[in-house]
């Protein structure tokens, strides 16, 4: 029956290839888009950072110009104090020089000349309350521009207050150039917000005063005004060393305010980075933020230029490039799918169709056909497939012929195997019977050995108890002997006491005799005491004699008990050896019995297996005949068909009327689980 093609391989291959190319295209487009986007964004970041640094340099150059002019003026007036010194200038000359510097650049707001008392020329007392001098004559001049193009010269104020005049006190204390924070200072009667570039005037490491140039904040604010970057979509600000906004193009109201007002949470970190002169580039969620340090002259208090560009401006070019890459990728992917579909349809599909037709002939059992020569000569995978089909056909022919020969051999061998299995079954039954008798005898022997072991263990315990009793009795005898020795020693003490008492009574009698009639009663008492002493002595001697005899007997008994202990220990050791030997015999008997039982079980399994083998051999012969019937489906040649018919006739008489004779006793020995699992299903062979 020919199966109708519902979904051709061509369509499947085309769909799979299309999906594969689409996925590959998507992957490549995604990778290219990501890399291009990253590079574009990185390029935009570098461009923005470059703009910030270039702009920082331009601002720095403006301040450097003022600092250079102030430094040159400071060097020029440093040779003061001695009229005879070459190059010395007077106060009017210094004012004139300062005026020329002030008008040299329209951006300069004012020029400062401030000196220590009598530090300029030592003539302060000659200039008291004159123009550009204070009441003490101290040279403290401040020059600013007037509308008529001349300079207004005023006296500096608040120079004695370090808080109000950092423009004077910072250079004095640090002996270094200084850029002030934004300060309000009156210029021709009007308060102006400004910053000052101050330079100390030094002569032989001695501080003489300061010179400085002021910039108005309005001028600095103009520096950050719209410069045409990013169509005006940017934020730029200048921040002083203490975090004060000096200029801000988007929020001018923040000028002279602390950045803490804008960054209250990160203020400490912001100030730390600013005062360390650290550059920072941060691509936040909403904008690219760039911070560049701004260091003027030899100052040690860097400022900071801040440049912020919205994120959408930075990523605009990246998004444009992304869509271009996506469109190009989609076009190339579609073209690749079209070309692949054409190739599959014209080249691969026809070769696969020919292979399907040839496999259909083989499925009908016709092995007489061969693959066309033109298909075998192709130098591609289709040619390899055709060659594989031809090799398969040749192998199937050889296999079918080999199956027929093997089936005949199997049928003959199965008859021989059935006879041998019956003989093995009878022998196994006899072995099983003998093994059961041996097992019964071994069980009785093991019981006797176990009984002997138990008796030996009981005797061993009795001997051990006797040994312990003798040891305890020996200890009691030794303690008794020791006690008697101690009693003997105490009796000797009593004997000595009786002897001393007798002597004392004699002395008392002598004294009573000397006393005459008055000592007669005492003499009687002394005589009684002497009698008691004599009796005590006699009794003590008798007790000591009995004690020594008891000690002698106790020592003799202890010696006998001590001699008896080794014999009892030797007897206990022999009992242990007897018990151990009995246990070993019991273990050996149990092992022999277990082995005999295992042998008996294996013998019974072998008997059951041999019976199953006999039955299996008959089934095998039947299956060989069925295999011949099945293999006749294939068409090899006419000679092959005649050979199969002949083999069927030869095997048929051998398999009819045969039954397997089983030993009636074998039914008592069921096959093990292993053999029970190896059952043969005749229906399964019939459906081969």
Domain boundaries, the chain: 45-314, 384-647
* Average pLDDT of the segment spanning 250-268: 89
Asked whether the predicted pLDDT for residue 674 surpasses 60, the reply is no
The CATH number fitting domain 45-314, selected from 2.10.70.10, 3.30.450.20, 3.30.200.20, 3.40.718.10: 3.30.450.20
pLDDT tens per residue across span 553-565: 877 877 777 777 7
Phi, psi of 304 (to 5 degrees): -150, 135
pLDDT tens per residue across span 178-235: 999 999 999 998 999 999 999 999 988 899 999 999 999 988 888 777 666 666 677 8
Rounded-to-integer distance, Cα 45 and Cα 32, Å: 19
* Average pLDDT of the segment spanning 508-521: 80
> For the ranges 271-285, 302-316, 317-331, 674-688, which has the lowest average pLDDT?
674-688
Predicted pLDDT of residue 597:
78
- pLDDT category at 685 given cuts 50, 70, 90 is very low
Strand, helix or coil for residue 203: strand
Predicted pLDDT of residue 98:
93
> For the ranges 105-119, 133-147, 232-246, 564-578, which has the lowest average pLDDT?
564-578
Supply the mean pLDDT for the chain.
Answer: 78
Name the E strands within 259-353: 280-283, 287-294, 303-310
Number of H helices, E strands in the chain: 13, 12
Strand, helix or coil for residue 323: helix
- pLDDT category at 245 given cuts 50, 70, 90 is very high
The hierarchical CATH code for the domain 384-647 is: 1.10.287.950
pLDDT tens per residue across span 577-619: 887 887 887 788 788 878 877 877 787 787 777 778 777 877 7
Asked whether the predicted pLDDT for residue 637 surpasses 70, the reply is no
Quick check: 629 and 662 in contact, CB under 8 A? no
Predicted pLDDT of residue 312:
74
Predicted pLDDT of residue 601:
79
Q: What's this model's pTM, rounded to 2 decimal places?
A: 0.45
The number of residues in the chain equals 688
* Average pLDDT of the segment spanning 60-82: 85
Predicted pLDDT of residue 351:
67
pLDDT tens per residue across span 437-457: 777 877 778 778 778 778 777
Q: Counting beta carbons within 10 angstroms of the beta carbon of residue 429, is it exposed (0 to 12), middle (13 to 18) or buried (19 or more)?
A: buried
**Residue 347 CB partners (closer than 8 Å, separation 6+):** none
Name 186's bridge partners.
191
Contacts 24+ apart (CB under 8 A), 429-436: 429/607, 429/663, 429/665, 429/666, 429/669, 431/599, 431/603, 432/600, 432/603, 432/604, 432/607, 432/669, 435/596, 435/597, 435/599, 435/600, 435/603, 436/600
Q: Counting beta carbons within 10 angstroms of the beta carbon of residue 505, is it exposed (0 to 12), middle (13 to 18) or buried (19 or more)?
A: buried
Predicted pLDDT of residue 112:
95
Predicted pLDDT of residue 349:
65
Report residue 638 as tokens: 């006419």
Torsion angle of the four alpha carbons 543, 544, 547, 552, in this order, in degrees rounded to the nearest 10: -150
Predicted pLDDT of residue 68:
93
Quick check: 116 and 137 in contact, CB under 8 A? no
Quick check: 208 and 79 in contact, CB under 8 A? no
Rounded-to-integer distance, Cα 425 and Cα 94, Å: 138
Asked whether the predicted pLDDT for residue 638 surpasses 70, the reply is no
The percent of residues above 90 in pLDDT, for the chain, comes to: 19
Q: Counting beta carbons within 10 angstroms of the beta carbon of residue 125, is it exposed (0 to 12), middle (13 to 18) or buried (19 or more)?
A: exposed
Rounded-to-integer distance, Cα 527 and Cα 502, Å: 9
* Average pLDDT of the segment spanning 149-172: 92
Q: Which residue has the higher pLDDT, 581 or 669?
A: 581
pLDDT tens per residue across span 124-135: 999 998 988 999
């Amino acid at each position: 029956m020919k199966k109708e093609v519902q979904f051709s391989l061509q369509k499947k291959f085309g769909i799979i290839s299309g999906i594969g190319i689409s996925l590959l295209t998507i992957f490549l487009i995604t990778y290219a888009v990501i890399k291009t986007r990253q590079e574009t964004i990185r390029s935009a970041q570098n461009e923005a950072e470059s703009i910030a640094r270039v702009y920082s340099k331009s601002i720095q150059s403006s301040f450097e110009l003022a600092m250079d002019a102030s430094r040159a003026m400071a060097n020029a007036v440093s040779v003061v104090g001695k009229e005879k010194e070459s190059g010395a200038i007077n106060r009017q000359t210094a004012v004139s020089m300062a005026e020329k510097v002030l008008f040299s650049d329209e951006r300069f707001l004012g020029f400062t000349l401030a000196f220590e008392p009598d530090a300029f020329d030592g003539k302060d007392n000659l200039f008291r309350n004159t123009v550009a001098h204070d009441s003490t004559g101290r040279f403290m001049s401040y020059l600013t521009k007037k509308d008529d193009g001349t300079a207004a010269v005023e006296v500096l104020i608040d120079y004695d207050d370090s808080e109000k005049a950092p423009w004077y006190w910072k250079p004095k204390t640090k002996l270094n150039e200084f850029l002030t924070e934004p300060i309000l200072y009156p210029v021709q009667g009007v308060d102006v917000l400004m910053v000052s570039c101050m330079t100390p005037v030094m002569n032989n490491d001695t501080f003489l005063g300061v010179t400085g140039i002021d910039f108005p904040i309005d001028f600095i604010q103009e520096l950050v005004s719209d410069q045409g970057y990013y169509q005006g979509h940017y934020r730029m600000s200048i921040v002083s060393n203490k975090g004060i906004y000096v200029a801000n193009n988007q929020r001018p109201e923040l000028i002279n305010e602390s950045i803490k007002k804008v960054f209250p949470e990160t203020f400490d970190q912001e100030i730390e980075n600013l005062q360390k002169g650290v550059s920072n580039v941060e691509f936040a969620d909403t904008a690219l933020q760039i911070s560049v340090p701004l260091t003027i002259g030899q100052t040690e208090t860097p400022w900071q230029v801040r440049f912020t560009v919205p994120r959408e401006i930075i990523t605009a070019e990246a998004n444009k490039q992304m869509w271009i890459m996506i469109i190009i990728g989609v076009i190339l992917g579609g073209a690749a799918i079209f070309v692949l579909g054409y190739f599959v349809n014209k080249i691969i599909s026809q070769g696969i169709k020919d292979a399907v037709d040839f496999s259909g002939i083989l499925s009908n059992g016709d092995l007489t056909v061969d693959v066309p020569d033109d298909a075998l000569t192709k130098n591609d995978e289709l040619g390899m497939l055709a060659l594989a089909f031809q090799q398969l056909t040749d192998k199937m022919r050889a296999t079918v012929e080999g199956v027929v020969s093997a089936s005949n051999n199997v049928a003959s061998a199965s008859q021989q195997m059935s006879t041998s299995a019956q003989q093995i079954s009878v022998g196994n039954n006899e072995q099983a019977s003998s093994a059961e008798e041996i097992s019964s005898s071994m069980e009785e022997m093991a019981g006797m050995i176990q009984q002997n072991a138990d008796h030996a263990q009981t005797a061993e315990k009795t001997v051990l108890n006797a040994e312990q009793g003798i040891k305890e009795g020996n200890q009691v005898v030794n303690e008794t002997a020791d006690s008697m020795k101690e009693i003997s020693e105490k009796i000797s003490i009593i004997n000595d006491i009786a002897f001393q008492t007798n002597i004392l009574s004699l002395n008392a009698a002598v004294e009573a005799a000397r006393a005459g009639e008055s000592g007669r009663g005492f003499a009687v008492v002394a005589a009684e005491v002497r009698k008691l002493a004599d009796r005590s002595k006699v009794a003590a001697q008798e007790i000591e004699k009995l004690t020594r005899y008891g000690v002698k007997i106790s020592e003799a008994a202890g010696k006998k008990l001590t001699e008896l202990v080794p014999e009892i220990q030797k007897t206990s050791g022999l009992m242990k050896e007897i018990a151990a030997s009995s246990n070993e015999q019991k273990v050996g008997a149990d092992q022999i019995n277990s082995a005999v039982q295992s042998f008996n079980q294996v013998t019974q399994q072998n008997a059951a297996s041999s019976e199953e083998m006999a039955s299996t051999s008959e089934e095998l012969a039947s299956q060989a005949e069925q295999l011949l019937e099945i293999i006749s489906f294939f068409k090899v040649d006419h000679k092959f068909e005649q050979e199969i018919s002949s083999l069927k006739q030869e095997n048929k008489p051998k398999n009819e009327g045969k039954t397997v004779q089983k030993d009636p006793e074998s039914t008592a020995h069921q096959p093990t689980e292993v053999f029970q699992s190896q059952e043969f299903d005749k229906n399964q062979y019939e459906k081969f």
